[in-house]
Structure 1
Amino acid sequence: MMISGISIFLLFYIGGLHVFWAFGGQWGSRVVIPATSGSGELTFKPGLIATLIVAILLFSAALLLAIQGRLLPALPSSPWIQWGCWLCVFVFGLRAIGDFKYVGLFKRVKQTSFATYDTFLFTPLCLWLCFTFYYTLFYS
């Protein structure tokens, strides 16, 4: 229950950060998008809608975890909730593996600020969330 609770908090916090960034917030925004090299040229520039969609998906993942982990007893788990949790296992697992160039365990571009944060924060967080969803599917 504590594992799920920590992950739910993290998902809501990160979702809140995305809402903050969507409406012009700058804190932390310089290191959350991969850069092509040390020059700082970003690989993409997310817009308002894309950033809000990511926030909604993170909030939804937190809700799935809360239901599957029985932290919201009024909402029983169902096959749809379990499928959603499996989807989260795969999404966070694939994010941890990465694209083999800019993000994940096997990235080749390692000399950027993003790469440093990805190595020590983003990828371990994705592995943690992947593990949490997997654990919750079998032990809740």
Structure 2
Amino acid sequence: MTTFVVLSTAIILAVLSLLHVYWAFGGRWGSTAAIPVTAHDSRPLFRPGKIGTLIVAGLLLFADYLLLAQSGYLAPLMAPALIQWGCIFGTAVFFLRAVGDFRYVGFFKKVRHTVFGRQDTRLFTPLCLWLGMAFLLTVL
């Protein structure tokens, strides 16, 4: 079971990283549902730039490495304690994202009728919960 959770999560993180690289270089598929929008006029809450999107891609790939290194699937390239703390941080980040900001993202969001809001309810928030649980599993 642990093997399935870790390896499936690693694949998900790698795919998400590649998707962010795709968006950074002008890809459009899925981009309209990936950014939260305001409730009253459907304007994006932010417009991610190329550099910011590539940073997110790099962080997702780094999180992937931490997960695999903590689980013993990759050789540690840094102190094991740093890898473990990185996984604890990953747990917190993904669980906090799942809880959300109580307005636009997460389980407790109020704005649900937008394209992003529906995708967040069906896919993004449950995915963040899965990712948080996978990271938690590696540090227990």
Sort the TM-score into its range (normalised by shorter chain): over 0.9
> 1:15-49: CA deviations, max 9, x gaps?
00000000000000000000102643111100011
Q: Secondary structure at the match of 2:36?
A: coil
The equivalent position to 1:11 in structure 2, one of 10, 13, 38, is 13
Corresponding residue for residue 111 of structure 1 = 113
CA deviations 1:42-100 (Å, max 9, x no partner) are 1110001110000000000000000011112x337700000000000000011000011
Q: Is the 8 A contact 1:38 1:111 kept in 2?
A: no
Look up the match of 1:75.
76
1:103 maps to amino acid: V
**Are residues 1:121 and 2:118 paired?**
no
Q: Using the alignment, how far apart are the partners of 2:46 and 2:18 within structure 1?
A: 21
SS at match of 1:85: helix
How many Å separate the matches in 1 of 2:121 and 2:72? 32
Find out whether 1:101 has 2:107 as its counterpart: no
* Length, aligned pairs only: 137
Q: What TM-score, normalized by structure 1, do the two folds share?
A: 0.94
- Runs of 5+ consecutive residues of structure 1 not aligned to the other structure: none
Name structure 2 gaps, 5 residues minimum.
none
- Aligned-pair RMSD on alpha carbons? 1.2
**Compared CA separation, residues 27 and 38, structure 1 to 2 (3 A):** farther
Supply the distance in 1 between the matched residues of 2:116 and 2:29 (Cα, whole angstroms): 14
In percent, how many aligned pairs have the same letter? 48
Residue number among 35, 39, 43 corresponding to 1:33 in the alignment: 35
Mapped partners of 1:87, 1:37: distance in 2: 31
CA distance in 2, matches of 1:135, 1:17: 25
Contact map agreement 1:38 1:112 (CA 8 A) in 2: no
Q: Give the TM-score, by structure 2 length.
A: 0.94
Map of 1:22 onto structure 2: 24
